[in-house]
């Protein structure tokens, strides 16, 4: 009898192990430059790097960035479409990968470029509108009309790119007590107190932190222990490190450049992510660089450059690391593919697998469980 239990346990362990290696990869795309259905769902095998298309949305306009609910049952997308921009909600069947359109509402700001959600709210950054908008979640996962709008005002020294506010991201603090927001136009990171149950004062301003004039803050990420924040600045390739405490206080502690010595081309830093084990920081740079940088995170939060290499495409707008940490996938907006790199978990270094997901203008990549 004992032997039978051992066999059954072993079989269960094998099945569970296989299941844990397979994830859904959701990809948001631009739909105005080439043929795209909008959102694509792939099954990704984190043991082999293999993938297969499961499903896609239908006739969704430029769902460039996506946010999946914690229960894996809903997907929220920005519809980046100038002054006609919107935000949409979808039901999500993780087994089949199928998306069911629920509803859409006006973004009340041009070109939404990033969003987050929890069980009560969906919070969106409008780039060209220079504002943040908050939607309440309905019981069925759909979204309300905008319940709060926060308008940023001002400009920066870069006349071409900082002529007004450009909100580029919204991020929950690890304890969900605050929302941080980067404004490329104002060279500021704003810290908002988060009041999830409030009707129309969900976000209240706590303060802001200035970064280097003309640098253009784009995206940030928290260290795994929540004590540090790393921000990449789009306009000049600056990488800024902050200390962070649970009262929502952000302090600049270090600055470096992601540009190789002597680099003279155009730069456009894009995405920044930390490996699942918290040991490595990755970030992409576009325009002429089209590179990804790898940094080792030291115990004191400082960064040590490991390597910089080509992303093997043009316009690495976003990337994602699978939950096991085995692979890093880079989406190229202009060469219409996702390049699959193998990750060395010990060194953080990346190796091209030769595998490519071909699709129109991939912009946002998100892994979820199946």
In the chain, domain spans: 66-79+106-355
Instruction: Note the pLDDT of residue 9.
Output: 47
Instruction: Note the pLDDT of residue 12.
Output: 46
SS3 for the chain, per residue?
Answer: CHHHHHHHHHHHHHHHHHHHCEEEEEEEECCCCCCCCCEEEEEEECCCCCEEEEEECCCCCCCCCEEECCCCCEEEEEECCHHHCEEEEEEEECCCCEEEEEEEEECCCCCEEEEEECCCEEEEEECCCCEEEEEEECCCCCEEEEEEEEECCCCCCCCCCCCCCCEEEEEECCCCCEEEEEECCCCEEEEEEECCCCCCCCEEEEEEEECCCCCCEEEEEECCCCCEEEEEECCCCEEEEEEECCCCCEEEEEEEECCCCCCCCCCCEEEEEECCCCCEEEEEECCCCCEEEEEEECCCCCEEEEEEEECCCCCEEEEEECCCCCEEEEEECCCCEEEEEEECCCCCCEEEEEEEEECCCEEEEEEEEC
Domain 66-79+106-355 has CATH 3.30.70.600: no
If the chain, 370 residues long, is cut into consecutive pieces of 10 residues, what is the mean pLDDT of each piece? 47 51 98 96 98 97 98 98 98 98 98 98 98 98 98 98 98 98 98 97 98 98 98 98 97 96 94 98 98 97 98 98 98 98 98 98 98
Instruction: Note the pLDDT of residue 20.
Output: 86
Instruction: Note the pLDDT of residue 19.
Output: 54
């Amino acid at each position: 009898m004992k032997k039978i239990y051992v066999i059954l346990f072993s079989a269960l362990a094998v099945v569970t192990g296989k299941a844990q290696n397979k994830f859904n990869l959701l990809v948001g795309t631009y739909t105005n430059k080439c043929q795209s259905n909008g959102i694509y769902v792939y099954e990704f095998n984190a043991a082999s790097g293999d993938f297969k298309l499961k499903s896609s949305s239908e006739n969704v306009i430029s769902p460039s960035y996506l946010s999946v609910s914690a229960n894996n049952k809903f997907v929220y997308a920005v519809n980046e479409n100038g002054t006609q921009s919107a935000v949409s909600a979808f039901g999500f069947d993780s087994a089949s990968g199928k998306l069911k359109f629920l509803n859409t509402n006006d973004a009340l700001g041009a070109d939404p470029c990033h969003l987050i959600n929890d069980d009560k709210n969906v919070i969106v950054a409008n780039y060209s509108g220079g504002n943040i908008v908050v939607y309440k979640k309905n019981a069925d996962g759909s979204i309300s009309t905008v319940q709060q709008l926060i308008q940023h005002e001002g400009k920066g020294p870069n006349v071409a790119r900082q002529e007004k506010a450009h909100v580029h991201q919204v991020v929950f603090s690890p304890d969900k007590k605050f929302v941080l927001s980067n404004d490329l136009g104002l060279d500021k990171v704003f810290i908002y107190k988060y009041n999830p149950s409030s009707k129309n004062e969900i976000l209240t301003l706590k303060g802001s932190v200035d970064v280097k004039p003309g640098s253009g803050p784009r995206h940030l990420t928290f260290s795994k222990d929540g004590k540090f924040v790393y921000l990449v600045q789009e306009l000049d390739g600056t990488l800024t490190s902050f200390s962070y405490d649970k009262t929502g206080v952000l302090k600049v502690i270090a600055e470096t450049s992601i540009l190789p010595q002597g680099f003279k081309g155009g730069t456009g830093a894009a995405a920044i992510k930390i490996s699942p084990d918290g040991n490595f920081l990755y970030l992409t740079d576009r325009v002429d660089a089209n590179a990804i940088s790898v940094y080792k995170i030291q115990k004191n939060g400082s960064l040590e450059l490991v390597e910089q290499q080509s992303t093997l495409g043009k316009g690495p707008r976003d990337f994602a690391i699978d939950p096991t940490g085995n692979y890093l996938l880079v989406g190229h907006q202009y060469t219409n593919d996702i390049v699959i790199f193998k990750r060395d978990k010990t060194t953080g270094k990346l190796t091209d697998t030769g595998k490519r997901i071909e699709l129109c203008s991939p912009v946002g990549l998100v892994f979820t469980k199946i």
